Amino acid sequence: MPSEFEIIRRYFSRPARSALLGVGDDAALVEPAAGCELAVSTDLLLAGRHFAARAAPRALGHKALAVNLSDMAAMGATPRWATLALALPSADEAWLEEFAAGFYALAARFKVDLVGGDTTRGPLALCVTILGEVPRGRALRRDGAQPGDDVWVSGELGGAAFALEHPEDAAAEKRLHEPEPRVALGERLRGLASAAIDVSDGFTQDLGHVLERSGVGAVVRYADLPKFRIADPALEQRCVLAGGDDYELAFTAPQAARARIESLAAPLGVALARVGSIQAGAPRLELLDAQGRAMDVEPGYDHFA
Ligand code: ADP
Ligand code: MG
């Protein structure tokens, strides 16, 4: 069995192109571009809670990084550097090979350098910290939504949650295991969106965070939400409103930005749906059905509920 240091050397020591110093010292050295702020985010994925211990390692490598890239997208930040803390029950080389392949393939696509981490024996856990750059003062925060703004959603909602109940559905499985972080969209929304969040815990809950932080309400038309195709209406509603793991962006923007936002969809290859509007008042989400009647809003995923 390889030692801790052999694991690091063999699987996690590819040269960092955009860091002053990468893996191998006590800390990495990075230098953000002039005029940029650093955006920093961490996600911890635990076997048995966020994924099955027997999940395909290549997809896990992808997802561990993808969920962090999605946080950069939601901030309008450009991801640059990542660290990876790994707890492994054993040094399974076939597993490590595949995991590293999935991680580095996504990292290469987004020009992100793995610059450090930690490796220890323990119950399988994956923790990635990502660092990104955003021009000073231009990050997409949760607290900027204004009354009158439109509410927008990228891609489709519900596919990842649908896969949990229908693992035979290949398209849904892909949504769950290999989400596509909307980094380019986040970058293009700088200066257009007033607030943004990535949909990781369910649309109603995640939009709710924006409403809380911005101190506003919202009206959303269920019929206008972009949905993964699900035949059963009750299941559709549950997956679309409360399903997590889609990693689409929900964002708000002034009505004056409508045409510019619509024009982003084709070049980026991502659908953008205008689903409602921000209202003055208490941070409450009102969901309307096709007849304009208020619907019951289901909460999304809460680890402690
Ligand atoms: P230290 O004892 O100073 O924490 P380590 O021996 O844990 O250093 O790690 C040695 C080097 O390998 C460090 O540069 C660390 O960032 C890097 N490293 C350790 N584990 C990983 C990993 N899973 N992925 C990437 N880099 C790692
Ligand atoms: Mg260490």
CATH number at residue 229: 3.90.650.10
| 119 Cα nearest atom in ligand 1 | 20
Total domains in the fold of the chain: 2
Alpha helices in the chain (DSSP H): 4-11, 57-75, 93-109, 159-165, 170-177, 183-189, 203-214, 233-242, 258-268
Q: Are residues 191 and 249 in the same domain?
A: yes
| 22 Cα nearest atom in ligand 1 | 14
Residue-level pLDDT at 1: 80
Cβ atoms of 198 and 160 within 8 Å: the answer is no
**For the segment 224-276, what is each residue's pLDDT rounded down to a tens digit?**
999 999 999 999 999 999 998 999 999 999 999 999 999 999 999 999 999 99
Q: Are residues 127 and 156 in the same domain?
A: no
Q: For residue 149, what pLDDT band results from cuts at 50, 70 and 90? A: very high
Q: Is the dihedral of CA 217, 223, 225, 231 positive or negative?
A: positive
Whole-prediction pTM: 0.95
Residue-level pLDDT at 82: 98
Domain boundary among 76, 100, 135: 135
Domain that holds residue 177: 150-294
Q: Report how far residue 43's alpha carbon sits from residue 141's, in angstroms, rounded to the nearest whole number.
A: 18
| 114 Cα nearest atom in ligand 1 | 25
Q: Are residues 155 and 275 in the same domain?
A: yes
Q: Is it the case that residue 219 has pLDDT exceeding 90? A: yes
Q: Are residues 127 and 208 in the same domain?
A: no
Q: What does the pLDDT average to over 282-288?
A: 95
Q: For residue 296, what pLDDT band results from cuts at 50, 70 and 90? A: confident
Is 281 part of a structural domain of the chain?
yes
Residue-level pLDDT at 300: 61
Is 142 part of a structural domain of the chain?
no
Cβ atoms of 250 and 151 within 8 Å: the answer is yes
Query: Atom 8 of ligand 1 has which residue's CA nearest to it?
Result: 26
Give me the percent of the chain exceeding a pLDDT of 90: 94
Q: What is the DSSP letter of 158?
A: S
Residue-level pLDDT at 303: 67
Q: What does the pLDDT average to over 111-133?
A: 97
Binding pocket residue ranges, ligand 1, CB within 6 Å: 8, 12, 23-26, 84, 86, 114, 116-119
DSSP-derived pairing of the beta strands 285-288 and 217-221:
parallel
Q: For residue 302, what pLDDT band results from cuts at 50, 70 and 90? A: low
Task: Give Cα separations from 229 to 62, 155, 170, 205, 238 (angstroms).
Answer: 24, 12, 13, 21, 13
Query: Taking Cα atoms as reference points, which of 269, 204, 212 lies closest to residue 241?
Result: 204
> What is the Å distance from ligand 1's center to 117 Cα?
5
Mean pLDDT in the chain?
96
Q: Are residues 49 and 98 in the same domain?
A: yes
**For the segment 182-206, what is each residue's pLDDT rounded down to a tens digit?**
999 999 999 999 999 999 999 999 9
Q: Are residues 229 and 262 in the same domain?
A: yes
Is 239 part of a structural domain of the chain?
yes
Q: Is it the case that residue 295 has pLDDT exceeding 80? A: yes
Q: What does the pLDDT average to over 89-111?
A: 97
Q: What does the pLDDT average to over 208-226?
A: 97
Write a three-state SS string for 252-288: EECHHHHHHHHHHHHHHCCCEEEEEEEECCCCCEEEE
Domain CATH number, residue 97: 3.30.1330.10
In degrees rounded to 5, what are phi and psi of residue 298? -90, 140
66 token code pair: 């993808």
